[in-house]
Amino acid sequence: MKLIRFGEVGQEKPGVLLEDGTRVDASAMGSEYDEDFFGNGGLIELKTWLQKSGSSSPRVAPSVRLGPPISRPTKIVCIGLNYRDHAAETTALVGPNDGLVIPKNSTKTDWEVELAVVIKKRTLYVSKEDALDYVAGFALHNDYSERSFQKDRGGQWVKGKSADTFAPLGPFLATLDEIPDFGDRRMWLKVNGELRQNSSTANMIFDVATLVSYISEFMTLLPGDVISTGTPAGVGMGMNPPQYLKVGDVVELGIDGLGESRQQVTQYK
């Protein structure tokens, strides 16, 4: 299944994206795509509901805004330097096509196309062999970073990851069965139509199962939590000279099987 959430900011409703591109309103099922949903068999319930009632449920127009495909995860864990090419050059959840707002005093806002993993059930001390049993599915994520906040001002990197609008997710969450070959998917990102990142999830140093297992040694991952698995080469910081986003820029990105997203850059007011 492909899970979506649609509607105005803060008023999103759950839905499902069908194979033919039709958007189905799933709010009659009575559950948000949140911690309770993923942790209490919501995916099974949704699949049953879709088979029984999907054909008669209201359709959602293509013009309606898509929000992030999950609701308020307790945390977004971002993995650094997990692609061989990016390692060599070396939040703020919103919808996939919402605008990017450059924060106040920012000088180095950067882009990062990433594969996001959504957790299905409480995860602690999980082996690599069992890790995928704890994964609900995957989504496209642009893990924006403010490099001057992140690198030039000391302390934790979280300062450069947490600005409003810095975590556009979606357009949908694809369940694990939708993309069984998630370990070899093309991923790309363009800025103003120019290709900046062009790689594959096959270039990960540590695969999804390894990451889920490793993180679970240090913290409990809850249903609906997000792990963003790192970005390949081509970020602005790695260019010579470095290039960063400015007002009016348009960022487009995608991962095969997980759709595409687009953000236009504006300035904080």
Express each pLDDT in 39-79 by its tens digit: 999 999 999 999 999 999 999 999 999 999 999 999 999 98
- Give percent of the chain with pLDDT exceeding 90: 88
The answer to whether residues 92 and 170 belong to one domain is yes
Residues with Cβ within 8 Å of 261's Cβ and at least 6 positions away in sequence, in order, are 96, 97, 140, 142, 168, 170, 171, 252, 253, 254
Mean pLDDT of 188-192: 98
pTM of the entire predicted model = 0.95
229 lies in some domain: yes
Into how many domains does the chain fold?
Answer: 2
- Residue 90: what pLDDT? 45
Q: What number is the average pLDDT over the span 191-200?
A: 98
What CATH code is carried by the domain that includes residue 82?
Answer: 3.90.850.10
Instruction: Tell whether 158 and 89 lie within a shared domain.
Output: yes
Q: Which two tokens stand for residue 67?
A: 């929000």
Same domain, 92 and 164: yes
pLDDT in tens, 82-114: 887 665 654 789 999 999 999 999 999 999 999
Query: Is the same domain home to 204 and 235?
Result: yes
In a domain, 35, yes or no: yes
The pLDDT score that the predictor gives to residue 87 is 58
Report the alpha-carbon angle 115-107-187, nearest 5.
Answer: 20
Residue 164 and residue 94 share a domain: yes
- Cα–Cα distance for residue pair 103/175, rounded to 1 Å: 33
Question: Does residue 44 sit in the same domain as residue 109?
Answer: no
Residues 205, 102: one domain? yes
Do residue 55 and residue 160 come from a single domain?
A: no
Indicate if 52 and 135 belong to the same structural domain.
no
In 3D space, the residue among 18, 21, 30, 17 whose CA is nearest the CA of residue 69 turns out to be 17
User: What pLDDT is stored for residue 214 in this prediction?
Assistant: 97
Residues 257 and 145 in one domain: yes
Spatial contact of 119 and 135, defined as CB atoms under 8 Å apart = yes
The range of the structural domain enclosing residue 94 comes to 76-267
Beta strand 93-94 pairing with 167-168: parallel
